[in-house]
Amino acid sequence: MSTQTMAETTTTTTTAAANRRTHIRIGTRKSKLAMIQTHWVVNQLRQLYATDADDGGYEFTIKSMTTTGDNVLDRPLAKIGEKALFTRELEDDLLAENIDLIVHSLKDLPTTLPDGCAIAVITKRENSSDAIVLKSGLNLDNPFDILSPNCHQINENVTIGTSSLRRIAQLKHLNPDIRVVDIRGNLNTRLSKLDDPTSGYSALILASAGLIRADYGHRISGQLLDNWYYAVGQGALAIETRTDDQFIMDLLKPLIHLKTTCECLAERTFMQQLEGGCSIPIGVRSVWTTGADDNDANCVLTLEGVVMSLDGRSRVDGKVSRNLNRKLDNKLPDLTTIDRSVCPFNYTGIAVGQFTEAATAANQLANSAMIGYDLAQDLLGLGAKDILDDIKLNSN
């Protein structure tokens, strides 16, 4: 295991749960944003369990850790050549039972988790879009002009900072001549680099959710919405636990947001079928055509997806819609015949068995997975396989 840096903060709350463990240890990355997200989860738990003061209380200890992805800043993520860059050390600690759960940005989690680990909770999604962040003092009539071939309001060459191949491919598709430079580091580090007068950056492309959570929402110059695809799971938080720790999963269950879980299961299935990750330019958009209410007979989710070449010249896109309350056709039997006592977990790492007590929810999740599966097959048939094969060939 790599060298770890630990910081601990403690807070206390209460619960009526009998025979419970009172000390809950939470793992997270050490970045400012990761800590903000983890404290948000702790605050949610305090609100849930703060009513029964007669029952003692929980002590939450947050252990923050520097991961491989945090330490390697001199190379783009896609060139490091490893998966789980921001999660492996945390998962090692979880499996060693040094911590009880981990709070992640869901987009950092691969679709295959280590044996013994599962995503027990996906919380309600924050804004899932990407955002343009202009350099401090750079004012444009329309911030989106900075992405166009002819940005007349800027005298020097436009330089966009991002380390995401998905964002680079989309930028190159919009403007083949745009200059894109890798930028790594924590959110506040990247913003400082952007605003440095000597840095040469004109703007950054960042996730809106991170900016909003870290109280940098005022830096959003414009949100990329039309014809722009975001990362799988972007804007959602995942809480990872050990698969044999039912106590912790039961404790966390009230934080599950079914609508977001359906979206992210569709997106992660899509990525899994394409064998994608940070080295493959894959983007998604989830849209609820009708309501996501559990009792809505017309609960229709649409997943839009794209696969792009690294230079943005080639791309295949499409979309699939499905009524999540429709009867399953058993194309994914491992999702429709879940027995908690035999196979309680894990589709794309998500503990889908958590929902088997509610037939409607389980059915919606299975249909969500089918959306991602069908969209991946559609795009592979339309030419995505050739794009992916070419990327893999050139990366070797």
Residue 391 has pLDDT above 60, yes or no: yes
Residue 356 has pLDDT above 70, yes or no: no
Range 6-10 average pLDDT: 46
Residue 92 has pLDDT above 50, yes or no: yes
Sequence-distant contacts of 385-389: CB under 8 A, at least 24 apart: 387/307, 387/308, 387/309, 387/314, 387/315, 387/316, 388/274, 388/275, 388/276, 388/280, 388/307
Quick one: 82 exposed, middle or buried, by C-beta within 10 A (0-12, 13-18, 19+)? Answer: exposed
In residues, how long is the chain?
396
Spacing of C-alpha 362 from chain mean position: 22
User: Catalytic residue among 108, 130, 245, 374, which?
Assistant: 108
What pLDDT band is residue 155 in, cutting at 50, 70 and 90? Answer: low
For every residue of 40-81, DSSP letters joined together read HHHHHHHHHH-S-GGG--EEEEEEEE--HHHH--SS-HHHH-
Report yes or no: 265 and 352 within 8 Å, Cβ to Cβ: yes
Residue 378's identity, in one-letter code, is D
Residue 13 has pLDDT above 80, yes or no: no
The DSSP output letter for 347 is B
E strand or H helix at 118, and its extent?
strand 117-122
Residue 287 has pLDDT above 90, yes or no: yes
pLDDT at residue 345, rounded to an integer: 44
What pLDDT band is residue 344 in, cutting at 50, 70 and 90? Answer: very low
Range 45-72 average pLDDT: 70
Q: Please tell me the pTM assigned to this model.
A: 0.87
Range 292-302 average pLDDT: 68
> Among 112-126, 165-179, 316-330, which is the least confidently predicted range?
316-330
Q: In which residue are the tokens 């506040």 written?
A: 188
Range 271-275 average pLDDT: 89
What are the structure tokens assigned to 108, written together?
Answer: 């950092």
pLDDT at residue 164, rounded to an integer: 92
pLDDT digits (tens, 9 = 90+) for 187-228: 999 999 999 999 889 999 999 999 999 999 999 999 999 889
Report yes or no: 130 and 208 within 8 Å, Cβ to Cβ: yes
pLDDT at residue 99, rounded to an integer: 95
What are the structure tokens assigned to 343, written together?
Answer: 């196979």
Strand ranges across the sheet with 315-323: 282-288, 300-308, 315-323
pLDDT at residue 3, rounded to an integer: 38
- CA-CA distance, 146 to 159, in Å (whole number)? 9
Integer angstrom CA distances of residue 57 from 49, 97, 241: 9, 21, 21
Residue 70 has pLDDT above 70, yes or no: no
Dihedral angle sign, alpha carbons of residues 241, 245, 248, 251: positive
- CA-CA distance, 244 to 249, in Å (whole number)? 9
pLDDT at residue 299, rounded to an integer: 87
- Provide the angle, in degrees to the nearest 10, between the axes of the packed helices 258-273 and 359-379: 30
pLDDT at residue 112, rounded to an integer: 87
> Among 333-342, 346-355, 387-396, which is the least confidently predicted range?
333-342
Q: What is the dihedral of CA 72, 119, 371, 384, to 10 degrees?
A: 20
pLDDT at residue 185, rounded to an integer: 83
Return the ∠ at Cα 295 (arms to 294 and 299), rounded to 5°: 70
Active site residue 108: yes
